[in-house]
Amino acid sequence: MSALPAALPVASRPGFFRRRQRSYRLLTLPALLVVAAVIVFPWLFTMYMSAFDWKIGSVAHFVGLGNYTGLVTNQRFLEAIAHTFYFTALAVVFPLLLGTLAALIFHRNFRGRGVLRAIFTMPMMATPVAVALVWTMMFHPQQGVLNYLLSLVGLPPSLWVYSPTLVIPSLVLVEIWHWTPLVMLIVLGGLAALPTEPYESARLDGATEWQLFRHITLPLIAPFIVVAAVIRTIDAVKAFDTIYVISQGGPGTASETINLYLYLQAFAFYNVGNASAVVVVFFGIILALALLLLHVRQRTKWAA
Amino acid sequence: MSDHTKHPDHPDALRRRLLLSGAGAATLGALGTVGLRDALAQGAFDWKRFKGEKIEILLVKSPRGDLLTKYHKEFEDLTGIEVGSEMIPEQQQRQKAVIEFNSGNPSFDVIALSYHVQKRQFAKNNWLTDVRPYLNDKSMTAPDLDFADFAKGGLQYAVEADGRVMSLPLNLDPWVVYYNKELFAAKNVAYPKTFAEMIDAAGKLNDPGKGVAGFVGRGLKNANVPVWTSFVLGNGGGFIDAKGKLMTDAPEAIEAARMYQTLMAKYGPQGVAGFNWNESQSLFLQGKAAMWLDGIGFAQPLEDPSKSRVVGKVGYGVMPAGPKAQVSALFADGEGIVSTSKKKGPAWYYLQWASNKANQTRMLQAAAGAPVRNSAYAAAQQSSDFKAPKEWVECMLKSAAIAQPGLPIIAPVTEFRDVFGIALTNMINGADPAGELRKATAEFQPVLDKSEKA
Q: Which tens digit of pLDDT belongs to each residue from A212-251?
A: 888 889 989 998 999 999 999 999 999 999 999 999 988 8
Query: How many domains does the structure of chain A reveal?
Result: 2
Q: How far apart are CA B128 and CA A205, in angstroms?
A: 85
Q: Which residues of A touch B102 (CB under 8 A)?
A: 56-57
Q: In this complex, is the C-beta atom of A141 within 8 Å of any C-beta atom belonging to chain B?
A: yes
Closest CB to A143: pick one of B220, B282, B411. Answer: B282
In a domain, B58, yes or no: yes
Q: Determine whether the interchain pair B288/A250 forms a contact, defined as Cβ–Cβ distance below 8 Å.
A: no
In a domain, B216, yes or no: yes
Question: A224 with A85, same domain?
Answer: yes
In a domain, B344, yes or no: yes
Question: B257 with B298, same domain?
Answer: yes
Question: B284 with B345, same domain?
Answer: no
Question: A23 with A95, same domain?
Answer: no
Closest CB to A142: pick one of B121, B269, B273. Answer: B269
Confidence of residue B3 (pLDDT cuts 50, 70, 90): very low
Mean pLDDT in residue range B351-368: 88
Q: B353-362: long-range contacts at Cβ-Cβ below 8 A with a sequence spacing of 24 or more? A: B353/B75, B353/B78, B353/B79, B354/B68, B354/B75, B354/B168, B354/B170, B355/B150, B355/B168, B355/B169, B355/B170, B356/B142, B356/B144, B356/B145, B357/B1, B357/B144, B357/B146, B357/B149, B359/B67, B359/B68, B359/B71, B360/B170, B362/B67, B362/B71
Reply yes or no on whether the pLDDT at B32 is more than 50.
Answer: no
Buried residues in A143-173 as b, exposed as e (16+ CB within 10 A):
ebebbeeeeeeeeeebbbbbbbebbbebbbb
Closest chain B residue to A167, measured at CA: B274
Closest CB to A56: pick one of B102, B272, B273. Answer: B102
Question: B58 with B117, same domain?
Answer: yes
Question: A37 with A176, same domain?
Answer: no
In a domain, A119, yes or no: yes
Determine contact, residues B173/B330, Cβ cutoff 8 Å: yes
Q: In this complex, is the C-beta atom of B169 within 8 Å of any C-beta atom belonging to chain A?
A: no
Reply yes or no on whether the pLDDT at A21 is more than 50.
Answer: yes
Within 8 A by CB and 6+ apart from A177, the residues are A123, A131, A135
Determine contact, residues B146/B51, Cβ cutoff 8 Å: no
Most B-contacting residue of A137, A270, A272 (CB-CB within 10 A), to test interface: A270
Would you say how long chain B is, in residues?
454
Mean pLDDT in residue range B354-362: 90
Confidence of residue B138 (pLDDT cuts 50, 70, 90): confident
Question: B211 with B231, same domain?
Answer: yes
Q: In this complex, is the C-beta atom of A268 within 8 Å of any C-beta atom belonging to chain B?
A: yes
Question: B318 with B221, same domain?
Answer: yes
Mean per-residue pLDDT of chain B: 87
Determine contact, residues B127/B120, Cβ cutoff 8 Å: no
Question: B124 with B159, same domain?
Answer: yes
Percentage of residues of chain A with pLDDT beyond 90: 64
Q: In this complex, is the C-beta atom of A74 within 8 Å of any C-beta atom belonging to chain B?
A: no
Q: In this complex, is the C-beta atom of A148 within 8 Å of any C-beta atom belonging to chain B?
A: no
Question: B353 with B370, same domain?
Answer: yes
Reply yes or no on whether the pLDDT at A105 is more than 70.
Answer: yes
Determine contact, residues B329/B190, Cβ cutoff 8 Å: no
Question: B199 with B66, same domain?
Answer: no
Question: B179 with B231, same domain?
Answer: yes
Residue A219 neighbours by CB distance under 10 Å: 11
The predicted complex's ipTM stands at 0.79
Which range, A202-206, A255-259, B397-401, has the best average confidence (pLDDT)?
A: A255-259
Question: A151 with A29, same domain?
Answer: no
In a domain, A61, yes or no: no
Q: Which residues of B touch A70 (CB under 8 A)?
A: none
Question: A93 with A200, same domain?
Answer: yes
pLDDT of residue B35: 44
Give the domain range for residue B97. 54-172+331-403
Confidence of residue B151 (pLDDT cuts 50, 70, 90): confident
Determine contact, residues B310/B166, Cβ cutoff 8 Å: no
Closest chain A residue to B213, measured at CA: A142
In a domain, A91, yes or no: yes
Mean pLDDT in residue range B134-160: 88
Of A110-124, A231-245, B264-278, B379-393, the one with minimum mean pLDDT is B379-393
Window 274-313 of B: residues touching A by CB (8 A cutoff) are: 274-275, 279, 282-283, 286, 288
Question: A34 with A104, same domain?
Answer: no
Q: A–B: how many Cβ contacts below 8 A?
A: 83
Question: A173 with A260, same domain?
Answer: yes
Reply yes or no on whether the pLDDT at A8 is more than 70.
Answer: no
DSSP state of A4: P
Question: B134 with B215, same domain?
Answer: no
Within 8 A by CB and 6+ apart from A297, the residues are A223, A226, A227, A230
In a domain, B189, yes or no: yes
Question: A116 with A218, same domain?
Answer: yes
Q: In this complex, is the C-beta atom of B2 within 8 Å of any C-beta atom belonging to chain A?
A: no
Q: How far apart are CA A101 and CA B281, in angstroms?
A: 43
Mean pLDDT in residue range B303-322: 92
What sign results for the dihedral spanned by CA atoms B389, B87, B95, A133?
positive
Question: A45 with A100, same domain?
Answer: no
Q: Which residues of B touch A268 (CB under 8 A)?
A: 414-415, 418
Q: How far is A93 from chain B (nearest CA, A)?
A: 27
pLDDT, tens digit, 9 for 90 and up, residues B260-278: 999 999 999 988 998 988 8
pLDDT, tens digit, 9 for 90 and up, residues B202-212: 999 999 988 89
Question: B285 with B415, same domain?
Answer: yes
Reply yes or no on whether the pLDDT at B53 is more than 60.
Answer: yes
In a domain, B117, yes or no: yes
Query: How many domains does the structure of chain B reveal?
Result: 2
In a domain, A5, yes or no: no
Q: How far is A268 from chain B (nearest CA, A)?
A: 7
In a domain, A4, yes or no: no
Of A101-105, B139-143, B336-340, the one with minimum mean pLDDT is B139-143
Give the domain range for residue A264. 68-300
Q: Determine whether the interchain pair B221/A248 forms a contact, defined as Cβ–Cβ distance below 8 Å.
A: yes
pLDDT top residue among B44 and A89: A89
In a domain, B18, yes or no: no
In a domain, A60, yes or no: no
Question: A106 with A247, same domain?
Answer: yes
In a domain, B251, yes or no: yes
Mean pLDDT in residue range A258-275: 92
Q: Determine whether the interchain pair B221/A142 forms a contact, defined as Cβ–Cβ distance below 8 Å.
A: no
Question: B204 with B320, same domain?
Answer: yes
CATH code, domain with B196 = 3.40.190.10
In a domain, A62, yes or no: no
Window 92-121 of B: residues touching A by CB (8 A cutoff) are: 95, 98-99, 101-102, 121
In a domain, B22, yes or no: no
CATH code, domain with A252 = 1.10.3720.10
Confidence of residue B4 (pLDDT cuts 50, 70, 90): very low
pLDDT of residue A186: 96
Residue B34 neighbours by CB distance under 10 Å: 8
In a domain, A1, yes or no: no
Confidence of residue A179 (pLDDT cuts 50, 70, 90): very high
